[in-house]
């Protein structure tokens, strides 16, 4: 019989990974791993099975919930808890937090970085290459589409924010992990993972997130756009979804491995309905747009002895962050795809 760590690792496809096992060993004692392997049994059933006092079982369930190892159906009562459904869930939950201990959690970040570098990034990119349709979609920067009369509510970050009854923000686990191993992000914002609905409730109950009012949410969306971060959302017309990520290519757990393993962004992300354009007569060649583009879609070319920006339409994902800081007004955003470009959400 394999031990509990191996059983849990096997559930997410990493039974033979020494790297993943070290993460589990950091997060759980052997007794706690044995408890998690028996979930979703009740505390009373676990007490009888494991020879623990019921109160000790409940105490461990609370600890494991706050560590981001188990996920109960009810966040208040912690009833019906289960182990992470997949590696991504454990990755995000176990590293999330606004007030993490830099020494203890620094070790956890390094363990995740080692696992990602040795195994997980390669495995995920191989799976992405098999995708028939992108699961996620790029949302255009709000200020870049202010003058577009055709903008749809489910591609408007502000309308999406207004549709959520509960919103919270969590620190970016990708950035914390990368910065722990010395890869400093050039962006100024750290807490940029915006959680909606049940995901927000989960973060608030664990103490890993901060509740945002609608005004604070809209203010944050403006700030991350100015910072050059890219909004990502589920690729359908849903107004309600768990997380809006705001990403950059120097630390994002998706954009970074995509670049390293030469995976086209369109394997996982659908483009927005908009596309950047450059007025060559107005372009001053300051290259700010080049620096801000997360998808290497903008290059500088010489015309008549002057350096001008060019947008590759094949590479442009329609995020719009280049438009926001073009002081000469040379960059613009054009609607180039019909509303049918965004699929309907699956029927419930």
pLDDT along the chain (348 residues), means of 10: 88 97 96 97 95 96 95 95 96 79 79 96 96 96 90 96 96 85 73 92 94 96 93 96 92 92 96 96 94 95 92 97 93 96 90
pLDDT value at residue 189: 64
pLDDT value at residue 304: 85
Cα–Cα dist 268/280, whole Å: 32
The domain ranges of the chain are: 1-85, 127-272
- Tokens 């590759």 sit at which residue? 312
Predicted TM-score of the model (pTM): 0.92
Please, what is the end-to-end C-alpha distance for the chain in angstroms?
A: 40
Cis peptide before 40 (omega within 30 of 0): yes
H or E element, residue 191: strand 191-196
Note the CATH architecture for domain 1-85: Orthogonal Bundle (1.10)
Cα–Cα dist 71/81, whole Å: 5
Cα–Cα dist 290/141, whole Å: 17
pLDDT value at residue 173: 87
Q: Are strands 274-278 and 298-303 parallel, antiparallel or unpaired?
A: unpaired
pLDDT value at residue 220: 94
């Amino acid at each position: 019989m394999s031990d509990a760590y191996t059983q849990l690792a096997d559930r997410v496809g990493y039974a033979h990974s020494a790297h993943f096992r070290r993460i589990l060993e950091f997060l759980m004692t052997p007794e706690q791993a044995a408890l998690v392997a028996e979930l979703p049994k009740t505390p009373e059933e676990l007490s009888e099975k494991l020879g623990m006092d019921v109160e000790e079982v409940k105490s461990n369930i609370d600890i494991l919930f706050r560590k981001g190892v188990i996920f109960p159906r009810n966040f208040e009562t912690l009833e019906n808890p289960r182990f992470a459904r997949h590696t991504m869930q454990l990755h995000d939950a176990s590293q999330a937090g606004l007030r993490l201990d830099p020494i203890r959690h620094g070790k956890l970040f390094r363990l995740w970085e080692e696992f990602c570098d040795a195994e997980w990034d390669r495995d995920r990119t191989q799976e992405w290459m098999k995708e028939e349709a992108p699961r996620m979609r790029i949302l255009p920067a709000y200020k870049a589409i202010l003058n577009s009369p055709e903008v749809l509510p489910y591609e408007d970050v502000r309308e999406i924010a207004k549709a959520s009854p509960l919103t919270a923000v969590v620190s970016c686990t990708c950035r914390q992990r990368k910065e722990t191993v010395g890869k400093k992000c050039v962006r100024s914002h750290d807490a940029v993972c915006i959680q909606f609905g049940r995901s927000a409730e989960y973060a608030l109950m664990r103490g890993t997130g901060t509740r945002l009012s609608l005004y604070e949410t809209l203010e944050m969306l403006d700030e991350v756009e100015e910072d050059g971060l890219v909004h990502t959302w589920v690729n359908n017309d849903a107004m309600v979804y768990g997380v809006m990520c705001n990403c950059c290519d120097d630390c994002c757990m998706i954009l970074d491995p995509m670049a390293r393993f030469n995976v086209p962004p369109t394997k996982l992300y659908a483009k927005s309905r908009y596309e950047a354009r450059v007025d060559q007569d107005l372009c001053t060649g300051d290259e700010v747009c080049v620096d801000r583009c997360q998808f290497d879609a903008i290059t500088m070319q010489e015309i008549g002895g002057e350096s001008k920006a060019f947008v590759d339409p094949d590479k442009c994902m329609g995020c719009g962050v280049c438009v926001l800081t073009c002081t000469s007004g040379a960059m613009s955003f054009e609607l180039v795809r019909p509303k049918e470009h965004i699929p309907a959400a699956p029927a419930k």
